Amino acid sequence: MLFQPPVFETIFRIPAAHRLMIMGSRSRGGPADGVCWFHTEHDAAGQPIARYETYDETDVTGQDRCGWRKYDARGRLVACHEVAMRWSQLVRMASRREAEIALQGPAPSRTAPTRRGPRHLAA
């Protein structure tokens, strides 16, 4: 079976009037294998408003994970979420749709962001 990546628009909760453009992807093999995708979100006027990095990997310590990071137009990290398993494991545990919902993470709050910003993921 071919690898089918998640529907990124679902994971990032992209509004219907916006467009999500894939800018590229990278993959690596070996003991620390994985794939990473890069996207840009454009608003209804066509202006870029956010950039996303999504990954599905096994790190150098053998830990599986998949997740994403969202950066605003100035390059600041504004949201992120990570699951401690590979995408294919998520899909096997539930339906594809349920796996996408799990990878979304919690819904963003409607309150104003704090000055401290989001927690950074361990690299």
Share of the chain above pLDDT 90, in %: 47
Q: Decide which of 49 and 33 is more confident.
A: 49
pLDDT confidence bin for 117, thresholds 50/70/90:
very low
Other CB atoms within 10 A of residue 61 CB: 7
| 3-class SS of residue 102 | helix
Torsion of CA 73, 79, 83, 86, to 10 degrees: 0
